[in-house]
Structure 1
Amino acid sequence: MIKANCRERFTAADFDFVVRTLSRSERDSVNLVDLLTDGAARDTVLDNPRLVESLFADGGPLTISPQLYFYILLRHVLKETALADRDVSDYLASLLETFSQTARMRSPADGHTSPIQYVSDMLIALRTASPAQSFLIRAHVGNYSLFITGIFHETVQHRSQRGAPDLGYYEDLGRSNFHLAAGHQVARTCALSEIFEKLAAGFREIRLALNHLSDSLIHLDNAFAPLIP
């Protein structure tokens, strides 16, 4: 299950990258290390635009974790919108980190021995799913709908010309499933209810921000084909 926990999983290499990027003197470096041990101060430091600039400065390989990479990018595209919520950025960074592995794009809960591959099959599985399974499926449908319309919007548009569901279909599907998942006890226990409600309410705006991210800042391998029914 995806959670808003990227900021809890930063590595020593991540902190070193932040310190090296933002420090101008040895004294600055010490101060930044102190700041990065405090949650609120850390969040302010991570909003520094120099971090985004550094990701693309020399084109060389990065030594930071996927969770820091995606968090910095998500904050960059979302903090100027009405959805400048750090927990939402954190959740979406976890989503991109998770779905960057194609095997993890499938629904984790269908009551069978293998994961569900297609959205249409996930919706059918809801008919017989337990409450816990329903939550996992609905959260996954919301996540998946946001991911493919955000990162692979051109693929969705192209396939819709041949009769497949269009962007509007996935927006409605993702919005409704996030809303339903938000009311589940598991969401409340995992501190996801408010995040899911914000994702439901701002689905289109977030999708457009992810479109910008995909078109301008990240370029996933063309062989990474989303599983669209």
Structure 2
Amino acid sequence: MFSETQSLRQLFHKIVADCYSRYTGLHDAELTSYIADVLSDFADLDRLYRMRDEAGTPIEEVSRMLEASDPVYGTAPSFIAERSMRKHIGDYSLFHAGMYPEIFRSQDRHEGELYQEMVQAGRSSYYIVSQFNVFEYAAEAELFARLAENFELCVYGLNKVRCEFDRLCLRSGAELGQFEEHAA
């Protein structure tokens, strides 16, 4: 019998692959598998908010994450740490822009501006990760190049994944909040 985590991971893989194939035209098993794994990983809030400041408080603002990821002026102790942080920023940006587009509504700033900042941060972070294309990182560099190149399409695909989750929850009679609570 599968654990809840394995079942959730399988569900994410199926829905992501189906939605991306149907709505984006991206028939890229490696890319959709990676995105499904991001969803599975982020079901654990410690992984979603893994970047922390000096006091140990989770960093939620992408601008602060970008500052921290700089190995020269930020807190990243090395270029390898920068790669890891940039990978997380790409994942975090993709996740929020695709699964929770409502977070871009703000009283202080225009929502399109916030969205564009998130997309730019995600795309550029994946691009930087793709440039680590030697040694142990060579095998996955092309995946991150495709994620950078197709970032907006991947966001759109994740939005369709969320719509599918909403539909499944409504169909089963469960509220979305209960589904998210169970997934976390």
SS at match of 1:132: helix
Aligned-pair Cα RMSD in Å? 3.0
- Name the CA shift for 1:78/1:166 in 2 (closer, same or farther; >3 Å): same
43, 58, 67: which one pairs with 1:100?
43
Residue 174 of structure 1 contacts residue 200 of structure 1 at CA under 8 Å; is this kept in 2? yes
Partner of 1:24: none
Partner of 1:142: 90
In structure 2, what is the Cα distance between the partners aligned to 1:115 and 1:84? 39
Matching residue's letter, 2:56: S
Tell me the CA shift for residue 82 of structure 1.
Answer: 3.5
SS at match of 1:79: helix
- Name the CA shift for 1:73/1:190 in 2 (closer, same or farther; >3 Å): farther
Structure showing greater relative contact order (alpha-carbon pairs closer than 8 Å, 6 or more residues apart): 2
1:89 aligns with 2:71: no
Question: Which string of whole-angstrom CA distances, capped at 9 and with x for unpartnered residues, describes residues 13-47 of structure 1?
Answer: 49xxxxxxxxxxxxxxxxxxxxxxxxxxxxxxxxx
Partner of 1:221: 177
- Name the CA shift for 1:98/1:115 in 2 (closer, same or farther; >3 Å): farther
In structure 2, what is the Cα distance between the partners aligned to 1:167 and 1:187? 34
> Which 5+ residue runs of structure 2 have no aligned equivalent?
170-175
1:71 aligns with 2:19: no
Partner of 1:162: 108
Tell me the CA shift for residue 192 of structure 1.
Answer: 2.1
SS at match of 2:124: helix
In structure 2, what is the Cα distance between the partners aligned to 1:187 and 1:95? 23
> Which 5+ residue runs of structure 1 have no aligned equivalent?
1-11, 15-61, 225-229
Partner of 2:120: 172
SS at match of 1:221: helix
1:151 aligns with 2:99: yes
Give the structure with the higher percent helix.
2
Partner of 1:46: none
Partner of 2:80: 132
TM-score (norm. length: structure 2): 0.75
- Name the CA shift for 1:103/1:63 in 2 (closer, same or farther; >3 Å): closer
Identity across matched positions, percent: 26
Tell me the CA shift for residue 215 of structure 1.
Answer: 2.4
Tell me the CA shift for residue 109 of structure 1.
Answer: 7.6
Matched length: 163
- Name the CA shift for 1:170/1:114 in 2 (closer, same or farther; >3 Å): same
Higher radius of gyration, 1 or 2: 1
- Name the CA shift for 1:76/1:177 in 2 (closer, same or farther; >3 Å): same
